Structure 1
Amino acid sequence: MQGAGAYARVGIESGVMSASPHRLIVMLFDGAQASIRAARIHLETGNLTEKGQAISKALDIVNNGLAAALDAERGGEVAENLASLYDYIVRLLLAANRHNDLEKLDEAERLLDDIASAWRDIEPQVAGG
């Protein structure tokens, strides 16, 4: 099993190193959404430690990945709106963790999915196609 994990890490690292900036953002959304799904499963099965770890990972991705990637100067109002939305998602995730609240977890996932879908829709335009 360790070999499979190492192989997967190499695949992910290779994907990150060769990814466009746009693709990296998509990968961050994917990671945050996967962490929220894992948190939901852990919450539903009573694994609260793992739930907390999964939510912490999602928080890290939203704060130190998605929000940190915003360029307020070049992004203007769109970047400001996304920053506010990411802040709201962080608050939802913190409340979901503190109160074991599936509804707040679901809302955070829906919001991230909406933004990710819009981001994916612009990918062909970014790639020039």
Structure 2
Amino acid sequence: MRGAAAYGRGAGAYARVGIESNVLSASPHQLIMMLFDGAQSGLRTARLHMQNGNVAEKGKAISRVLDIVNNGLQAALDLEKGGELAERLGSLYEYIARLLVQANLHNDEQRLDEASALLDNIGSAWREIGDQAKGG
């Protein structure tokens, strides 16, 4: 079992280095996309833990998503340059954060689904912007 545990630690360290390398070489647009991807991954994890009754892990997963929304996506908004669009996104991120807190408190998968759908819609718009920038 010692070999498997050592392998697991090594594989985890290798994955972290890969993620760090991706972050360091990413454009600002790519970093935002990574945040959306991370949020969706966290929501999937939270949903699984919610369905399995694992309260502590569900809470950790939702906390990670809240951190992404509040300290990643929300913090990245430039209200001066973004104007009304940035303000509206900020309000939407605040709403998503409230959905996540309520989902956690009440084990409410519908609220998780709503947060996921909203983040997916915004993330899709970011993807399109990136695709247009590459093509144009």
Which TM class, normalised by the smaller chain length? over 0.9
Q: CA separation in 2, counterparts of 1:82 and 1:67?
A: 8
* Equivalent residue number for residue 97 of structure 1: 104
- Note the alpha carbon deviations across 1:28-51, whole angstroms, 9 max, x for none: 000011001100000001111000
Higher helix share: 2
In the alignment, is residue 121 of structure 1 matched against residue 128 of structure 2?
Answer: yes
Q: Helix, strand or coil: the match of 2:76?
A: coil
Does 1:70 find its partner at 2:77?
yes
How high is the TM-score relative to the length of structure 2? 0.92
Find the aligned partners of 1:105 and 1:57 in 2 and give their Cα distance. 13
Q: CA deviation at 1:128?
A: 5.9
In structure 1, runs of 5+ residues without a counterpart are none
CA distance in 2, matches of 1:126, 1:59: 29
Hey, what's the Cα distance between the residues in 1 that align with 2:99 and 2:116? Answer: 10
Quick check: 1:56 aligned with 2:47?
Answer: no
Counting aligned pairs with the same residue, the percent is 67
Computing the radius of gyration over CA atoms, which structure comes out larger, 1 or 2?
2
Give the alignment partner of residue 29 of structure 2, picking from 18, 22, 31: 22
Q: What is the rounded CA distance, in whole Å, between the counterparts of 2:32 and 2:78 in structure 1?
A: 13
* Aligned 8 A contact 1:55 1:93 in 2: yes
Letter in 1 for 2:102: A
How far has the Cα of 1:12 moved from its partner? 0.2
In 2, Cα distance between the equivalents of 1:20 and 1:108? 26
Which residue of 1 is the match for residue 89 of structure 2? 82
The one-letter code matched in structure 2 to 1:115 is I
Hey, what does 1:108 align to over in structure 2?
115
- The AA in structure 2 aligned to 1:74 is K
What is aligned with 2:3?
none
Runs of 4+ in structure 1 over 6 Å off: none
- RMSD of the TM alignment (CA)? 0.9
Using the alignment, how far apart are the partners of 2:29 and 2:12 within structure 1? 26
Is the 1:25–1:66 Cα contact (8 Å) retained in structure 2?
A: yes
Conserved in 2, the CA contact under 8 Å of 1:22 and 1:126?
Answer: no
How many residue pairs are counted as aligned between the two chains?
129
Measured against aligned partners, the alpha-carbon deviations of 1:60-90 in whole angstroms (never above 9, x if no partner) come to 0000000000000000111001000000000
